[in-house]
Amino acid sequence: MNKTKPILFLFFAILSLFSCERVFEYNLYSADVKDERKFTRQKNLEKLQDIEEEIQDQNSFKFALVSDSHTYYNSLAEVVNLINQDEEVSFVVHGGDMTDGGLIAEYSLFYHIMEELNRPYFTVIGNHDCLSNGRVIYNDQYGPENYSFVFKNCKFIFFNDVIWELNYEEPDYIWLQNELLNSQEYDKTFVIAHIPPWSDQFTPLDTWAYKTFMDTANVAVSIHGHHHDHYMGNYFEDSIPYLVIGAPSKDIFCKLTIEPDTVILETIKL
């Protein structure tokens, strides 16, 4: 028997393994977002337009909220399954920290779990998502960190308020202010930012700026994650309600029903 044949077979097997796309995809420091995961937000916006047409005669709608799924991928998959069972949910908001270390493998796993969702979803970047090459990956996979869209004459503003993990870079408050100034024509405005304005990442000036913008625009709800524990209330004892989405690790996610004259919160235990 020719002993070189098994050796050659093993060599080519190893070579083919290391030339496989999956191996390089999970390099810890890779920022190479695969083509099928790019423009995810734009694809979801197109799906949302179709849903808006489907419910155009309804005067209320519902969306679900989850945040800080980090490494709790089994819990996130359970949340996706529960949301899929509620036909009234129009879309899903993720409040940030989709990943734990901003790694390409984590972004990929999150993407594949959320692919099972039968509704469009929209994300805000979290502080953990900014670690390593996470910020670059986020922009390639989803798009700009600050963005907004309108659904059923309600405006949704997604704002990057991460400070520490971005080398104390100041959040783009001018962008936020302009978005809020241009929201007066809508029935309700919602702001989604990962870190609550009373968090230790915020200086007193940051807190004052964020709170002032919310007050001036009469925001319906300011929505956050980061703290993992669920909270809903008027934190600053003014007219603006603040919602902190409980994390799947605490067996919690939320749903908001938007009616003409009110917003109804539902907290769901897994």
Query: Helix, strand or coil for residue 149?
Result: strand
Q: What is the mean pLDDT of residues 231-249?
A: 94
Q: Is residue 17 part of a domain?
A: no
Whether 16 has a pLDDT exceeding 90, the answer reads: no
9 in a structural domain: no
**In angstroms, how far is the first alpha carbon of the chain from the final one?**
61
What's the pLDDT score for residue 207?
97
Tell me the pLDDT band of 270, cut-offs 50, 70 and 90. Answer: confident
pLDDT at 189: 98
Residues in the chain: 270
Is residue 18 a part of any domain in this protein? no
Q: Is residue 143 part of a domain?
A: yes
Show the tokens assigned to 205: 């000036």
In which element (H, E) is residue 93 found? strand 89-94
Residue 39 lies in a domain: yes
Domain with residue 137: its CATH number is 3.60.21.10
Q: What is the mean pLDDT of the chain?
A: 90
Model confidence at 13, pLDDT cuts 50, 70, 90, reads: very low
Q: Look up the domain containing 194 and give its range.
A: 35-269
Average pLDDT for 113-131: 98
Q: How confident is the model at residue 29 (pLDDT cuts 50, 70, 90)?
A: low
Number of domains in the chain: 1
Q: What percent of the chain has pLDDT over 90?
A: 84
**Distance (Å, whole) CA 211 – CA 207:** 6
Q: What is the pLDDT of residue 27?
A: 63
pLDDT tens-place string over residues 66-94: 999 999 999 999 999 999 999 999 999 99
Question: Is there a domain that residue 24 lies in?
Answer: no
Q: Which amino acid is at 21?
A: E
- Torsion region of 142: left, alpha or beta (phi above 0 gives left; psi -120 to 50 gives alpha): alpha
41 falls within a domain: yes
Please report the pLDDT score of residue 252 as a whole number: 84
Q: Is residue 21 part of a domain?
A: no
Q: Is the pLDDT of residue 34 over 70?
A: yes
pLDDT-based confidence at 269, cuts 50/70/90? Answer: confident
Sheet holding 221-224, edge to edge: 147-151, 154-159, 188-193, 221-224, 242-244, 231-233
Residue pair 91/122 in contact (Cβ under 8 Å)? The answer is yes
Phi, psi of 96 (to 5 degrees): 105, 170
